[in-house]
Amino acid sequence: MSDFQPILTEHIHQKECHTLSFYISVGGYSALEKVLAMSADDVIELVKASNLRGRGGAGFPAGVKWSFIPQDGEKPKYLINNADESEPGTFKDRLLINKTPHQILEGMIIASYAIGCNTAFIYIRGEFFKEYQLLEKVVAEAYEGNFLGKGILGSDYDLDVVIHRGAGAYICGEETGLIESLEGKRGWPRIKPPFPAIEGYLKCPTVVNNVETLSNLPHIINRGPEWFKSIGPEKGPGPKLFCVSGNVNSPGVFEEPMGIPLKDLIFDLAGGIKDGNELKAVFPGGSSSAILTAEEALSVNMDFDSLAEIKTMLGSAGVIVMDEKVDMVQACLNIARFYAHESCGQCTPCREGTAWLVKILTRITSGDGNSNDIDMILEITDNIGGLIDFSKGSFGKTICPFGEAVAWPVRSFVEKFENNFRQYISQEESVT
């Protein structure tokens, strides 16, 4: 068991930890005071130097993203806190919202100051109604304490925060779908470029950052980039919240250093596999990541680069554990159904391909599959999401990365557990 002391979740077991008075009693908003005495450029440089990478899925360096915001002063700039958290197997942002909402808000104010924004949004998943109500109270408290509003803490910096509720669409977690939805339109992702940093909300420069990314900022400001880089791998460091679910004895959210071995997460922190069963497979980064075999899972570390090396991803760090009893073909169908339901329908390969995958997988599981079906699934996934080749930077054949989010897991099920698919088909072919 590691001796790492939680940073983002240090106080979550204490009573009233969500209140302003509690947050201030443990040093909350002291980073904001420091930031207000710095120049915006210096804040960006400091965050760049920390190598903080986004916790929402793509792992893009936060400070670099902020530096893309044009500083010519012509258009207003916006910050959006992505609290849509809809990736299957992911429930870390919800914990942060419930337990340390002022830490998130302090991160938002720091990021807004750095990019020169005076209106920031929290886009919260529609199903998080209790969390929405809590955030309303937290934002009101912050206004009362002059951490928001005009002349924050006696400075000449003004910031308003607006909370916007989503309506339950997974695709509104994708940053450009989110922006469309925030503008009051259907949540259809936009073609990039232009990226939101140039043309985002109302065609103005916009940064979208995840709840957990923002929560790291007060700590980076207070303790410095070198401290941050000393936690886990230097190129993608920091404390990380891992959500572990599935066939484990003690599912939950665990804060550990980036780069912890996946086997430690499963066997030490989450109490090992239920009922003494054998480990079969693991999604390391939500259902959009390529699945790992037990052998791969037992030897990989949980950081951006280690997972990319074995052609999967850290994503949202939603670790879904499957034991030997899981039927991999049924699990694959379940995933495909989710994506077919959530496809926004703009791109033909995604709209049609996801429906075809469901059709073929249903055919296989219901006893009508044939040996061509496996090749057909692979061909369809290639046409939706391209081949998995991380050396190529850009993968997709669709408007947004949802295409890869379907193609990679489905393809990995078939490639890594082909025998399970063949068993279904050979049973069927031997009957006919």
Ligand X SMILES: Cc1cc2nc3c(=O)[nH]c(=O)nc-3n(C[C@H](O)[C@H](O)[C@H](O)COP(=O)(O)O)c2cc1C
**177 vs 259, beta carbon nearer ligand SF4:** 177
DSSP secondary structure, 225-253, as one string: HHHHHTSS-TTS-SEEEEEEEESBSS-EE
| CA–CA separation, 412 and 109 (whole Å) | 40
Which span (10-18, 31-39, 53-61, 417-425) binds ligand X, by CB under 6 A? 53-61
> In the range 148-177, which residues lie near ligand SF4 by CB under 6 A?
171
- If DSSP codes are grouped into helix, strand and coil, which group holds residue 286? coil
Q: Give the residue, chosen from 50, 86, 288, 346, that forms a contact with ligand SF4 under the rule CB under 6 A.
A: 346
Question: Does 129 engage in binding with ligand X (CB under 6 A)?
Answer: no
Do 92 and 98 touch, CB atoms closer than 8 A? no
Task: Tell me phi and psi for residue 336, to 5 degrees.
Answer: -60, -40
Strands across the sheet containing 160-165? 160-165, 119-124, 78-83, 206-210
Number of helices (H), then strands (E), in the chain: 18, 9
**247 vs 346, beta carbon nearer ligand SF4:** 346
**209 vs 343, beta carbon nearer ligand SF4:** 343
**55 vs 102, beta carbon nearer ligand X:** 55
| The entry of ligand SF4, ligand X, none that residue 239 binds, CB within 5 to 8 Å by partner kind | none
Distances (CA, A) of 82 to 54, 163, 195, 256, 397: 11, 11, 16, 22, 25
| The entry of ligand SF4, ligand X, none that residue 420 binds, CB within 5 to 8 Å by partner kind | none
Nearest distance in Å: CB 342, ligand SF4? 7
Q: Give the residue, chosen from 20, 66, 69, 84, that forms a contact with ligand X under the rule CB under 6 A.
A: 84
- If DSSP codes are grouped into helix, strand and coil, which group holds residue 233? coil
| The entry of ligand SF4, ligand X, none that residue 58 binds, CB within 5 to 8 Å by partner kind | ligand X
Q: How far is CA 312 from the centre of its chain?
A: 14
Cis-peptide, bond into residue 194, ω within 30° of zero: yes
Question: Does 363 engage in binding with ligand SF4 (CB under 6 A)?
Answer: no
Nearest distance in Å: CB 313, ligand X? 11
- If DSSP codes are grouped into helix, strand and coil, which group holds residue 78? strand
Q: Give the residue, chosen from 402, 413, 421, 424, that forms a contact with ligand SF4 under the rule CB under 6 A.
A: 402
Q: Of 54, 147, 38, whose CA–CA distance to 101 is shortest? A: 147
**190 vs 263, beta carbon nearer ligand SF4:** 190
Q: Characterize the bridge pairing of strands 160-165 and 119-124.
A: parallel
| CA–CA separation, 12 and 25 (whole Å) | 14
**120 vs 171, beta carbon nearer ligand SF4:** 171
The angle subtended at Cα 123 by Cα 219 and Cα 9, nearest 5°, is: 30
| The entry of ligand X, ligand SF4, none that residue 347 binds, CB within 5 to 8 Å by partner kind | ligand SF4
Which span (39-47, 96-104, 397-405, 419-427) binds ligand SF4, by CB under 6 A? 397-405
**157 vs 402, beta carbon nearer ligand SF4:** 402
| CA–CA separation, 105 and 107 (whole Å) | 5
Question: Does 88 engage in binding with ligand X (CB under 6 A)?
Answer: no
The angle subtended at Cα 361 by Cα 360 and Cα 367, nearest 5°, is: 90
- List CB contacts of 225: < 8 A, sequence separation 6 or more: 46, 47, 49, 50, 51
Question: Does 353 engage in binding with ligand SF4 (CB under 6 A)?
Answer: no
Question: Does 86 engage in binding with ligand SF4 (CB under 6 A)?
Answer: no
**245 vs 343, beta carbon nearer ligand SF4:** 343
Q: How far is CA 222 from the centre of its chain?
A: 25
> In the range 274-313, which residues lie near ligand X by CB under 6 A?
none
Which span (10-18, 26-34, 215-223, 341-349) binds ligand SF4, by CB under 6 A? 341-349
| CA–CA separation, 332 and 320 (whole Å) | 13
| The entry of ligand X, ligand SF4, none that residue 343 binds, CB within 5 to 8 Å by partner kind | ligand SF4
Which span (42-50, 167-175, 379-387, 419-427) binds ligand X, by CB under 6 A? 167-175
Question: Does 68 engage in binding with ligand X (CB under 6 A)?
Answer: no
| The entry of ligand SF4, ligand X, none that residue 213 binds, CB within 5 to 8 Å by partner kind | ligand X
- If DSSP codes are grouped into helix, strand and coil, which group holds residue 124? strand
Q: Give the residue, chosen from 9, 50, 82, 216, that forms a contact with ligand X under the rule CB under 6 A.
A: 82
Dihedral sign from CA coordinates of 97, 99, 103, 105: positive
The tokens for 349 are: 């390969």
- Which residues sit at the interface with ligand SF4, rule CB under 6 A? 171, 189, 343-347, 350-351, 398-400, 402-403
- Which residues sit at the interface with ligand X, rule CB under 6 A? 54-58, 60, 82, 84-87, 171, 173-175, 208-210, 213, 400-402, 405
